[in-house]
Amino acid sequence: MTSPTDAAGDHVARIMAEWRRERPDLDVSPQGVIGRLHRLANALGEELVAVYSRFGLAEGEFDVLATLRRVGEPYERTPGDLAASTMVTSGAMTKRIDRLEQRGLVTRRVSDADGRGRVIALTPAGRELIDECMTAHMANEHRLLAAIDADERAVLETVLTRWLTAFETPRTTG
């Protein structure tokens, strides 16, 4: 009996076959999912970054502009909120904001609520750029998903959501 991974004949299937031959005592079946997800994530990352770069943006800069744009008017957040939303350190966020500010895509001002804090806001040029980039980004994502039909996408989204939730849900110790 052949498994789906054997029939696929892809890179991961070949690796699994080699491990099965060399270590028949190990259950290497998780590689069928994890290995493919890892390879797919790398390939998708390259495809996504290619679109951002057409707009002169690095992935992190796209994340900052997209975060500011999707929060709605007045399109602003604190650096800490941006860092938490994009899951990077405050130092990494500062570098991103500096680059975007130098390009006139965001501004930095003193917070009205806390004179010690800062607020990062999307400029009109930043909004125009992220709107154009987001349109291209979504067209790219639709292209990348074209290999699977709508029903498969729905199932995949359900499974990935459940799995990701298991990782992102805080675990209790003890």
Full set of structural domains in the chain with CATH = 1-54 (no CATH), 57-137 (1.10.10.10)
**Percent of the chain at pLDDT above 90?**
75
Residue 129 burial (CB < 10 Å; 0-12/13-18/19+)? buried
- As a whole number, mean pLDDT of residues 56-85 equals 94
List, in order, residues 6 or more apart from 23 with CB less than 8 Å away: none
Distances (CA, A) of 66 to 4, 10, 136: 38, 35, 13
Q: pTM of whole model > 0.85?
A: no
The alpha helices in the chain, defined as continuous H runs, are 4-8, 11-22, 30-54, 59-70, 79-86, 90-102, 124-145, 150-168
- As a whole number, mean pLDDT of residues 121-126 equals 97
- As a whole number, mean pLDDT of residues 158-172 equals 87
Q: Which segment, 4-18, 48-62, 87-101, is predicted with the most confidence on average?
A: 48-62
Q: Which of the two residues, 112 and 18, has the higher pLDDT score?
A: 18
Question: What is the pLDDT, as a whole number, of residue 140?
Answer: 98
Question: What is the pLDDT, as a whole number, of residue 171?
Answer: 67
Residue 145 has pLDDT above 90, yes or no: yes
Q: Which of the two residues, 11 and 4, has the higher pLDDT score?
A: 11
B/e letters for 99-119, b = 16+ CB within 10 Å, e = fewer, are bbeeeebbeeeeeeeeeeeeb
- As a whole number, mean pLDDT of residues 38-66 equals 96
Confidence tier at 167 by pLDDT (50, 70, 90) = confident
Question: What is the pLDDT, as a whole number, of residue 127?
Answer: 98
Cα–Cα distance measured from residue 66 to residue 131, given in angstroms and rounded to the nearest whole number: 8
Confidence tier at 172 by pLDDT (50, 70, 90) = low
